[in-house]
Structure 1
Amino acid sequence: MARDWLAWHDDYDQPGSALAARLAEVREQVRAALDRAPTGPLRVLSACAGQGRDLIPVLATHPRRDDVTARLVELDPRNAAVAEDAARAAGLTGVQVVVGDAAVTDAYADLVPADLVLLCGVFGNVSDADVRATVGHAVALCASGGTVIWTRHRREPDLVPTICEWFARAGFTPVAVGTPADRVGVGVHRHLGRPRPLPPKVTMFHFLPR
């Protein structure tokens, strides 16, 4: 049976749940990334953005909110509608919610390289090979000095240390890698190198069947 990605978000509202703890940590890291971002316009990308809970509430109260142009890409139109409503309610005119395949590079072509890239809820749902490929594409998605925030479960075999190695080989330095809840990992890496051109019409990952 296919997963209901609208219902999946319900655990965010359960105090003490792993998803609630992950969400709190991701939001804190988003806030910190915005705090250290350079002055001037900022670009933010969120792949598999769901209902926009990682980003929209932080932007709503952040001093840099009006500097941000953000694109949230989400395949489920129901979740995208929730994100769109939240962005409009917060008056975030720079936030665009797109219903589409977040795995395809064309979804981001006109907003790269970005100052903040969110890959939350991706690495735990794709093959190890696709995780590695997506880390490689992060070099094109992320501006020099920009931040990538990602998540991955820490069930055995724990891939988080290997993901960190892949980011290092791609020219990123770790900012934080934590486990805010049992078997939940949140990673933050900054891009130290120069961004590569983003190849067109490339599918970076495929969600595994459930």
Structure 2
Amino acid sequence: MDWQTWHAQYDRPGSYMAQRLEAVRTQIGTSLDSSPPGPLRVVSLCAGQGRDLLPVLADHPRRDDVRALLVELDPRNAAYAEKTARSAGLDQTKVVRGDASLTDVYRGMVPADLVLVCGVFGNISDEDIERTVDSCARLCRTGGTVVWTRHRGAPDRVPLICEWFETRGFARQWLSGPAAEFGVGTHRFMGETQPLVPGMSMFTFTGYDTLRRSSAATDDA
């Protein structure tokens, strides 16, 4: 998968991806609006080109309160995000080219006020989704927010992901409607933040196409 070319889907007005992006941006803005006064920390897993967070942050009244960490493995997408952040004067935003599944990359930035897990759950196994949801209780401070996405294609895992969050002390704040092609959810962590486990891998990024082919092969067996 050429992940830089993949981002071009966001540029098609009215497309599924453009609508999802707008929903995510709205939820990011709502989270920042409702955050307590003082410094804020934001982390973004598999951040891509930062198209969800960076435009919102650039125009938000709380921009100078926010320290942000974007983690992205693809070098071209990471470079794009870095250029966007610098052009917007987001000097407290750091873009790291690295493996977003590894807990060590988030040291010093968690627990965070806002955790973005967008474009992840559709590209990893169910077991890894649950493991990542569990890890969100270590990445997110008490009262902090997780914004996440998952496609609505079969099997629709959005209800199950909500259940996994909610059995781990997260309260649902918003969920896109079932008629939408995309799933965007916002959950607030009401539990007690657990220590980050060093040296842990939260997931293996398999890719949507690979998962779909694997599922089709299993169905045909």
Scaled by the length of structure 2, the TM-score of the pair is 0.92
The within-5 A match list for 1:122-201 is 122-179=120-177, 182-201=180-199
Question: Gaps (5+ residues) in structure 1?
Answer: none
Equivalent in 13, 22, 25 of residue 24 of structure 1: 22
Shift of 1:183: 2.1
Q: Deviations over 1:6-38 (max 9, x none)?
A: 000000000111110000000000000000000
Equivalent position amino acid for 2:56 in 1: V
Q: Distance in 2 between matches of 1:56 and 1:157?
A: 31
In structure 2, the partner of 1:107 is: 105
Q: Distance in 2 between matches of 1:95 and 1:134?
A: 23
Q: Distance in 2 between matches of 1:101 and 1:87?
A: 20
In structure 1, the partner of 2:219 is: none
| Paired positions, count | 208
Structure with bigger gyration radius: 2
Equivalent in 35, 38, 50 of residue 36 of structure 2: 38
Q: Distance in 2 between matches of 1:5 and 1:42?
A: 29
Which moves more between the two structures, 198-207 or 179-188?
179-188
Query: What is the SS of the residue equivalent to 1:97?
Result: strand
Q: Distance in 1 between matches of 2:15 and 2:199?
A: 37
Q: Distance in 2 between matches of 1:56 and 1:9?
A: 15
The within-5 A match list for 1:11-90 is 11-90=9-88
Q: Distance in 2 between matches of 1:178 and 1:133?
A: 23
Shift of 1:171: 0.3
Q: Deviations over 1:146-183 (max 9, x none)?
A: 00000000112211001001001110000001049742
Equivalent position amino acid for 1:82 in 2: Y
- For the 8 Å contact 1:25–1:180, the answer to whether it is kept is no
Equivalent position amino acid for 2:84 in 1: A
Query: What is the SS of the residue equivalent to 1:111?
Result: coil
Q: Which has the higher contact order (CA 8 A, sep 6+)?
A: 1
The sequence identity of aligned pairs, in percent, is 59
Equivalent position amino acid for 1:189 in 2: H
- For the 8 Å contact 1:6–1:78, the answer to whether it is kept is yes
Equivalent position amino acid for 1:193 in 2: G
Query: What is the SS of the residue equivalent to 1:149?
Result: strand
Q: Distance in 2 between matches of 1:99 and 1:160?
A: 29
Q: Distance in 2 between matches of 1:181 and 1:6?
A: 28
- For the 8 Å contact 1:22–1:180, the answer to whether it is kept is no
Q: Distance in 1 between matches of 2:104 and 2:177?
A: 32
Equivalent position amino acid for 2:49 in 1: Q
- For the 8 Å contact 1:139–1:196, the answer to whether it is kept is yes
Equivalent position amino acid for 1:185 in 2: G
Question: Gaps (5+ residues) in structure 2?
Answer: 211-221
Q: Distance in 1 between matches of 2:177 and 2:44?
A: 21
